[in-house]
Structure 1
Amino acid sequence: MATGDKNDPVRTDAGTARPARNTRNRPTDDELLDAACAVIAEVGAERTTMTAIAERGGTTRVTLYAHFGSRDELVNRVMTRELDTFTSFMFEVYDASEDMPYGARARYSVQALFDYARRHPAGLRVLIGHREGGSDRRLYAALEPRIAARLRDNYAERGARIDASADTLASLLLGMSLDVAHRALIVDGAGVDEACDLAITATLAVLRDVRPEQLRALDESLGRR
């Protein structure tokens, strides 16, 4: 007996026809995460609800719970995905600029961060706008060591050895760019180009004006603790 197409109506025991279940339109995890990312970027993680995500993703709350278990787990999955995507991008930028002169390398890195903001505004809004979950600290923890290592190499080329002070300076430089991006993308809605120009100017000014002896003095003070 011919079974017919898999999308043909299916007969129930009562003899009435009901549409066959179409599995081709089931949302994937990535599609659901995209919907959640868009909602979080707009209203913030604290105000994000499963209902809003379901409406954005064209699905149901039941489906969201089936895929992720809870709202908090869904938010965490979004944060982790966006963090991994952004940090992987920045690591590639750091690798690509390794042989550039120091000032050009710093400019290139800051420019790349804001280029990312232009192309992925929702993802970066999620990371720098979500304070409750500590995503901004996870950003620092991921990127600071690479920046600090570059600072140590740069000062070593100038005959100055710095230790923990490189971590402090890396935090300062990264924080300036992220704070400017935060104001542009979330607080003030300023233009990304203008924000990028400000962040580059501030970064280069710090690198120009911070003296090796200041960093060594900070290291010595830490050594006395």
Structure 2
Amino acid sequence: MSRPRSPDRSSTRRSPAARPTDDELLDAARAVFAERGYAQATMGLIAERADSTKPTLYAHFGDKAALFRATVRREVAAVRHWVLTAYETASTSPLEERVRLAVMAMFSYASAHPESFRMLFDSAVDEMSNERRALADTVTTHVVDRVREHLLTHGRTPGPGADLLAAMMVGLVGRAAMHVSHSPGVDPIAAGELATGFVMAALRGLDPALLDHVDAGQCTT
């Protein structure tokens, strides 16, 4: 005698009172996209993670691409709020403390929200490139202000090199935070302090002539 088939949970409807909210559906989508990547994630897997149904997902978001975009928009907004709040908190602190808090913001977010961080920065989906660029631009704008202030306190007039330095710092910190998010044995706070020390040492030890060449549009050879 054949065994009865288990019901397909992805198409079994729940009672209206038990249906998940949009945020709960997005939480499930974030988890599956972070674990599987966009290509391997399916509406069935997401529905199962949300303890919901595929018809519910389609009714709320249309299709997988639209669900992914909605998840990305929410997570980008969360990262931006987290980082900008850290910058505002440090606005009256000494320069080095502001640099430390700016660097630590990315590490603390990666530690507190690993699924969100991995989904945003691991994904190779085309839609992510614009979102990542916009987020990086937001962060870079604030870091540029710190770099320009550092240069002014050392008697230098900031030029294009300040923007380049900020982009380098944001890229370095972002990649380091990503490494930490994939390394359970690495303490994110200690890693953030190391990154802060690295950035500050780079600023203090910067050869002014190299910055001058960038500002003047010249090469060193």
TM-score (norm 1): 0.81
| Structure 2 Cα separation of the partners of residues 68 and 53 of structure 1 | 12
Matches within 5 A, 1:69-218: 69-132=62-125, 133-134=128-129, 135-186=131-182, 188-191=183-186, 192-218=188-214
Contact 1:114 1:196 (C-alpha < 8 Å) held by counterparts: yes
Q: Which has the higher contact order (CA 8 A, sep 6+)?
A: 2
Deviations 1:92-137 (A, max 9, x none): 1111112222222111222232222222111112122123321432
| Structure 2 Cα separation of the partners of residues 172 and 93 of structure 1 | 20
For the residue of structure 1 that corresponds to 2:166, the secondary structure is helix
| Structure 2 Cα separation of the partners of residues 122 and 198 of structure 1 | 23
**Counterpart AA for 2:110:** A
TM-score (norm 2): 0.82
Deviations 1:31-62 (A, max 9, x none): 11000011112222232211111110011111
Using the TM superposition, give the Cα deviation of residue 140 of structure 1 relative to its aligned residue in structure 2, in angstroms: 1.1
Contact 2:103 2:196 (C-alpha < 8 Å) held by counterparts: yes
Matched-pair identity in %:
33
| Structure 1 Cα separation of the partners of residues 68 and 185 of structure 2 | 27
Using the TM superposition, give the Cα deviation of residue 159 of structure 1 relative to its aligned residue in structure 2, in angstroms: 2.0
**Counterpart AA for 1:173:** M
Structure with max Cα Rg: 1
For the residue of structure 1 that corresponds to 2:155, the secondary structure is coil
5+ residue gaps, structure 1, are 1-20
| Structure 2 Cα separation of the partners of residues 82 and 146 of structure 1 | 20
| Structure 1 Cα separation of the partners of residues 189 and 30 of structure 2 | 24
For the residue of structure 1 that corresponds to 2:85, the secondary structure is helix
For the residue of structure 2 that corresponds to 1:99, the secondary structure is coil
Matches within 5 A, 1:3-18: none
RMSD in angstroms over aligned alpha carbons? 2.0
**Counterpart AA for 2:31:** A
